[in-house]
Amino acid sequence: MVETTLFSLLHGLALWIGEVAQWLIKVTGIKEIQFIGDWAVTGGPVNFLTILLVCAIFMVAALLVGITCIWQERKVLGRIMDRRGTQVGMLGLFQNFADAIKTLLKELIIPRDADKKLFMWSVTGLIGSSVLLLGLVPWSTRFFVANPELTLLIGLAVFSLAPFFIMIGGWASNNKYSMIGAMRGAAQLIAYEIPILMVVLSIIIMTGSLNFNVIVAFQQTHMWLMFPLFIGFITFFVCGIAESERVPFDLPEAEAELVEGWQTEYGSIQWGLIMMADYLRAYVVSALITVLFLGGWDGPTFLWPEVWYLIKVFFVFFIMIWVRSATVRIRTDQLLKIGWKRLLPLSVVNLGIAVVMKAMGWF
């Protein structure tokens, strides 16, 4: 029996829409346009419509999860600080939408001497690359957008585009604070890319694949990679916090030193989109940790695999919030020292452990 994937489910819907269109055209009785109705039920348009529907549904679901991450952060931080978090609507769930409307209604200000095209396009690039990441992480074997062989490689390639856009945004703002913040942000992101790649390399060695489905299937048959590669798990977690520019590694927007970092000049919905992109990247980091180390959608069968996946993602994000609430921001030199002197050797050690395990035939 073929498992019902999101694609096959929506394929039936698209085929039905095509048949309705064919019937409607047939009802008109005009002979000259009958071929459009016949064409609507062929493979090409139906597949195209299916892909559009899949993208729409998956993106809406993933964005809702991203928004829920923001809500979760606000509520958990409220609990930790012994205060109420958001309060608009049921459990404060609508506060994010209220804030979105508020940022939308603000005036869009572009500095006079800024490079306007780059200033606008860097935000587009950042949010575009972040949203592209959403589609690369599958929720289960049946709920995904695309499933290429090299998903992990593509994902990390898109993930590492951020320093480029941050650099451009900071430079185009024509502001010293933005420029310094952008340089610091780029230095941080590049420094923490490398341990991530090394850890991912160890996972590739262990599982022998770059495909998320294969990686999760490997963990289902053996064990969650968190246990053999614990050092790598911790390294990946710390680097992921740094990559998504969260406390204690939020140097690019250190408001005490750099006003608001590289995003000083961005206001209105641009700022809203940048914040949204930050949270989407944090969600993607949580999703990567879930899929690579925590067995993805692996879990007892009384719940859907998608639910297990979401539970794990939210748990990882909760730990990120917890770390955020507990720690203070560190200095630039400390940050780079931790990146190059601690995490990089740790990731190399982790790689060695993976190689030894594979060579001994334990996995």
Partner 1 sequence: MVESSNNPRDKKLRATGYMLKPLWVTLRTMVRVSLPGHRPRTIMYPWEKSIIPDCFRGRPGIILDKCIACQKCVKVCPTTCIKMVQIEHETLGKVKRPEVNVGRCMMCGNCAEVCPTNAMIVTPEFELASYTRDDLIYDPIKLQHPWKAGYEINYEEQLPSNMKGPAAKKGSMELKDTVCLEAKKCISCSRCEKTCPTGAVKMTDTGEVNEKTKKPIKRPVFDDTKCVSCEMCVDVCPKDCLTMKEAQ
Which residue ranges make up the site for partner 1 (CB under 8 A)? 76, 78-80, 82-84, 322-323, 325-327, 330, 334, 337-338, 342
Nearer Cβ to partner 1 (319/356):
319
The CA–CA distances, whole Å, from 196 to 106, 316, 334, 339, 348 equal 38, 17, 19, 11, 11
Nearer Cβ to partner 1 (185/248):
248
Minimum distance from CB of 323 to partner 1 (Å)? 7
Nearer Cβ to partner 1 (60/319):
319
Nearer Cβ to partner 1 (163/195):
195
Nearer Cβ to partner 1 (108/326):
326
The SS3 assignment for 74 reads helix
Minimum distance from CB of 334 to partner 1 (Å)? 6
Helix H or strand E segment including 171: helix 162-172
Minimum distance from CB of 343 to partner 1 (Å)? 10
Nearer Cβ to partner 1 (79/116):
79
Contact in structure between 66 and 276 (CB atoms under 8 Å): yes
Calpha distance 115→124 (Å, rounded): 15
Minimum distance from CB of 241 to partner 1 (Å)? 12
The SS3 assignment for 211 reads coil
Minimum distance from CB of 330 to partner 1 (Å)? 8
Based on the number of CB atoms within 10 Å of its own CB, is 70 exposed (0-12), middle (13-18) or buried (19 or more)?
Answer: buried
Lookup: tokens for 219: 């963990």
Calpha distance 198→194 (Å, rounded): 6
Furthest CA-CA distance within the chain: 76
Which residue, 240, 212, 226, 221, is CA-closest to 294?
Answer: 226
Calpha distance 267→280 (Å, rounded): 19
Minimum distance from CB of 79 to partner 1 (Å)? 5
Minimum distance from CB of 326 to partner 1 (Å)? 4
In the block, tokens 């039905």 appear at 16
CA 228 to chain centroid, in Å, comes to 25
Lookup: tokens for 75: 């509520």
Nearer Cβ to partner 1 (241/289):
241
